[in-house]
C-alpha cells in the first residue's frame, strides 16, 4: 500500500550516520597521531637548541651549569624551559649520550621518567 510519501527509512538514515561517524573517527585518529609526531619532533629540536645553550655556557664560564637557574642568571634563558606537555626539561653535563656535550631530556607525553616515550637530544 503506497501512500505517495517519499523519503528515507530509519534504517537508511542510521546506516548513513554510522558511515559518517566512521569517516570522522578515522580523520580524528590520523590528525591527532600527526600532532603527536609533530610535538615529539619539536621537542627533539628544542632539546638540541637547549644543548647548544648549555655548551655555550660552559665555554663562557669554564664550568658546567648545574641547573637552569645558572642559564637564567647568565641571561641565556628567561625561565626554565618546558616541553610541549608542560613538563620541565632536565639536563646532564657532561652527557651520558653526548659525553663531549650535554644530554637534554623530556619525559615525553606521559610525563613519567624512563619510559618509552621519553625524548632527548640523542638518537635512540
Domain ranges of the chain: 14-120
Closest CA to 95 of 61, 50, 62, 39: 50
Q: Which residue would you say has higher pLDDT here, 66 or 30?
A: 66
> Which tens digits make up the pLDDT trace of 73-113?
999 999 999 999 999 999 999 988 988 889 999 998 888 88
Residues 6 or more apart whose Cβ sits within 8 Å of residue 45: none
Residues 6 or more apart whose Cβ sits within 8 Å of residue 54: 64, 65, 71, 91, 93, 101, 102, 104
**Which pLDDT score, from 0 to 100, does residue 35 have?**
55
Residue 92 to residue 107: CA distance in whole angstroms:
14
Fold of 14-120: Glycoprotein, Type 4 Pilin (3.30.700)
- Is the full-model pTM beyond 0.85? no
**Which pLDDT score, from 0 to 100, does residue 98 have?**
87
Are the C-beta atoms of residues 46 and 81 closer than 8 Å to each other?
yes
Amino acid at each position: 500500500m503506497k501512500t505517495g510519501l517519499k523519503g528515507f527509512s530509519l534504517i537508511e538514515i542510521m546506516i548513513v550516520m554510522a558511515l559518517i561517524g566512521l569517516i570522522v573517527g578515522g580523520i580524528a585518529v590520523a590528525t591527532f597521531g600527526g600532532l603527536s609526531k609533530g610535538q615529539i619532533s619539536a621537542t627533539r629540536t628544542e632539546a638540541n637548541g637547549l644543548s647548544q645553550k648549555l655548551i655555550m655556557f660552559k665555554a663562557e664560564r669554564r664550568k658546567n651549569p648545574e641547573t637552569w637557574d645558572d642559564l637564567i642568571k647568565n641571561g641565556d634563558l628567561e625561565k626554565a624551559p618546558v616541553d610541549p606537555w608542560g613538563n620541565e626539561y632536565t639536563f646532564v653535563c657532561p652527557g651520558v649520550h653526548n659525553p663531549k656535550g650535554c644530554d637534554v631530556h623530556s619525559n615525553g607525553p606521559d610525563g613519567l621518567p624512563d619510559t618509552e616515550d621519553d625524548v632527548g637530544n640523542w638518537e635512540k
